[in-house]
Amino acid sequence: MTNKIWAYIDQFKGEALPSSWEAIGAGLALAESLGGGVTAIVFGENVGAIAEQAFQYGADEVLVADDATLGDYRAEAYTATLTQLAADSAPEVILFPTTSRGREVAGMSAVDLNTGVLVDVTALEVVDGAVIATRPVYAGKLLAKVQCSAKPQMVTLRGRAFAKPEADASRTGTPTGVPAALSEDEINVKIVDYATVSGGVSLTDAAVIVSGGRGVSNNPNLNPPDDLDEAGQEIWKAQQGFALVGDLADALGAAVGASRAAVDAGYIPYVNQVGQTGKVVAPDLYVACGISGAIQHLAGMRTSKVIVAINKDADAPIFKLARFGVVGDLFEILPPLAAAMKERLGQ
């Protein structure tokens, strides 16, 4: 007997992504209106530890497909397994974290099960037994209430929009094993290699982000090496600027973000881009350094709790969203700010 509400646990190489636990928390809140408990769904190879964690984070039941074919995430294999389980047990709601994998499995399984998927949801409510979700659309310029009339209602939750439950180490349970749906020769995609980027805080999970824009290269007092061409000299300068951004980020335990202008100019890789065509983030603290605040940048960070802007231009639109602003040169402000934060945080 499974519950009406399922939470899909996204994992990579045997480690659950933190936003997966938020899905259990959101599921438990829905269960208060819809009844029953929450069933966590764990796919992978050697993922027993994740199943244990799922109980600790509040799952009432955990279904585990532990199989070599599921060792690395592959869309076809994961989708087929989820579809089979859902077709057998008919859950009413399946919650996923909005990760690249969560989005994909939810979308594909929705095709199999002839239902729909509500993506990147930031709030959930139950009205007359139906789940109504709120999601930002048009890059957060508008909010839509959306609803899925077929079952299961597939919902992916925006990271950090729902509280992560406290883990309770005394909560335990026995996971239920379920089979993988495909055999290796039925899976078309083969993994050749990984290049994992190590360390650093991921932007979308970060509680604090320090971002740099085109302004990080604007310091006439720097003397780049002569053997660089003009573009090279600009990038060299930007590296000095981003080093200051990085120092503040280190002091705050923050991830480093960037504007598209900084990315396009080659100052920093695209994975760091915040905005409409980058990552959408909602940290507790967002520090924008040398970023003007174009509408496409704001689209990616406007829901941050506290925004701090450091910019030379008092008319920069970023100040309209900022709780605190400094009209000044980031090269002058960032070093003492990093030092002052370190001191206050006892480092």
Partner 1 sequence: MNIVVCVKQVPDSAAQLTVEGGNISWGEAPLVINPWDEYAVEAALQKAGDLGGNVTVISMGKADETEALKHSLAMGCNEAVLISDPALAGSDNVAAARVLAAAIAKVDDVGLVFFGKQAIDSDTGTLPAQVARVLGWPTLTLVSAIDELSADGIKVERAIEEGRQVVKSRLPAVVSVIKDYGEPRYPSFMGIRKAARATIPVWALGELGIEAPAPVVAWPEVMAPQQREIATELITGGSPAEIAATLADKIMAEKVL
Ligand X SMILES: Cc1cc2nc3c(=O)[nH]c(=O)nc-3n(C[C@H](O)[C@H](O)[C@H](O)COP(=O)(O)OP(=O)(O)OC[C@H]3O[C@@H](n4cnc5c(N)ncnc54)[C@H](O)[C@@H]3O)c2cc1C
73 binds ligand X (CB under 6 A): no
- For residue 203, what are the CA distances in angstroms to 107, 283, 291? 24, 9, 17
What is the Rg, in whole angstroms, of the alpha carbon atoms belonging to the chain? 23
Candidates 32, 128, 170, 192; binder of partner 1 (CB under 8 A) is 192
Amino acid letter, 49: A
Residue corresponding to tokens 């061409």: 229
Q: Indicate which single residue of 74, 158, 260, 302 sits in contact with ligand X (rule: CB under 6 A).
A: 260
Q: How many residues bind partner 1 (CB under 8 A)?
A: 90
Tell which one of 125, 277, 284, 320 touches ligand X (CB under 6 A). 277
Selected range binding ligand X among 21-29, 103-111, 160-168, 304-312, rule: CB under 6 A: 304-312
Site for ligand X in 199-218 (CB under 6 A): 213-215, 218
**Contact code string over 65-94 relative to partner 1, x by CB under 8 A:** ----------xx--x---------------
Piece of 1-9, 142-150, 170-178, 234-242 that binds partner 1 (CB under 8 A):
142-150
Closest by alpha carbon to 203, among 132, 118, 274? 274
Residue 96, both tokens: 């996923």
- Picking from 50, 62, 45, the residue whose alpha carbon sits closest to that of residue 16 is 50
Task: Report the candidate in 72, 69, 65 with the shortest Cα–Cα distance to residue 39.
Answer: 65
Q: Count CB-CB contacts under 10 A for residue 301.
A: 26
Q: Does position 169 bind partner 1 by CB under 8 A?
A: no
CA angle 169, 172, 178 (to 5 degrees): 130
User: Could you give the angle at the alpha carbon of 181 between the alpha carbons of 148 and 63, nearest 5°?
Assistant: 70
- The answer to whether residue 204 forms part of the interface with partner 1 (CB under 8 A) is yes
**296 forms part of the interface with ligand X (CB under 6 A):** yes
Identity at 270, one-letter amino acid code: Y
Among positions 1, 32, 174, 197, the unique one binding partner 1 when judged by CB under 8 A: 197
Instruction: Supply the minimum distance, in Å, between the C-beta of residue 169 and ligand X.
Output: 41
Determine which residue in the list 329, 339, 341, 342 makes contact with ligand X, applying CB under 6 A. Answer: 329
Position 58 contacts ligand X (CB under 6 A): no
Which residue from 179, 319, 346, 347 is in contact with partner 1, where contact means CB under 8 A? 319
Stretch that binds partner 1, among 54-62, 63-71, 96-104, 225-233 (CB under 8 A): 96-104
Among 22, 120, 234, 247, binds partner 1 (CB under 8 A): 120
Per partner kind, with CB cut-offs from 5 to 8 A, the member of ligand X, partner 1, none near residue 214 is: ligand X
CB 215 within 8 A of CB 330: yes
By beta carbon distance, the residue nearest ligand X is 275
Neighbours of 124 (CB within 10 A): 21
Q: Which does 102 bind (CB under 5 to 8 A by kind): ligand X, partner 1, none?
A: none
In 10 A of CB 309, how many CB atoms? Answer: 24
Q: Name the pairing type of β-strands 255-258 and 208-212.
A: parallel
Complex with ligand X: residue 102 or 278, whichever CB lies closer: 278
User: Could you tell me which residues come within 8 angstroms of residue 2 by beta carbon, excluding any fewer than 6 positions away?
Assistant: 39, 61, 63, 89, 91
Binding site for ligand X (CB under 6 A): 213-215, 218-219, 259-262, 273-278, 290-292, 294, 296-297, 300, 310-313, 316, 329-331
